[in-house]
Amino acid sequence: MSSLPIRNAEKDHLLSPQNAALIIIDYQPTQVNSINSMDRKQLIENIVITAQAAMTYHLPVVLSTVNVKTGLNKDTLPILREILGNIHSYDRTSINAWEDKEFYEAVKSTGRKKLIMTALWTEACLTFPALDALKEGFEVYPVVDAVGGTSLVAHEAALRRVEQAGAQLTTNVQVLCELQRDWNRKETASEMVRIFKMGGVFLKLD
């Protein structure tokens, strides 16, 4: 019962803490309140789990909001902002974050080609930057249980569109397992279990 040597984490075809970055776009009160593709409380729990995974494995995080400086929208949800700490938030007016210069440069400056992508709404603020990133040679991993659309039809159609363009759909549990990869990596294993429990993955059976 012994693990193989850790393979090159930067060149690994799977997600690793050394080759991936997390993109978080528009988790603001107005956007959350317009989601109709899943339970909104569950949506918030799932993006929190995804953000905690990124912080646990020290992934670069690019955070963006829309129309905060114009006064039309409120900032990122406080529960999410607390997890992310003092990372910079790139506010913009463009629906497609990829068309915002500061956001675009922030993504490129991570040096990562694998983008774990989350955004509200699925049909716009996830789809458009995902398609642009794929066109530029990035690998895109939409976290399907941490994103939502204005309807279930809009959400599912958007996921089909990005998947057909080459995106690799994933979930927050899959992201956690892919980043951890081996229970013997004890420096993060206990935190992984804590995040799982927070998401209700492990039920109390005794």
Q: What are the C-alpha distances in Å from 139 to residues 65, 162, 168?
A: 22, 11, 8
Q: Is 35 exposed, middle or buried (0-12, 13-18, 19+ CB in 10 A)?
A: buried
Give me the half-sphere count of Cα atoms (radius 13 Å) on the Cβ side of residue 72: 9
Residues with a known catalytic role: 125
The label of the residue with tokens 């939409």 reads 142
HSE, CB side, 13 Å, CA atoms: give it for residue 80: 28
Dihedral Cα 66, 52, 23, 10, nearest 10 deg: 160
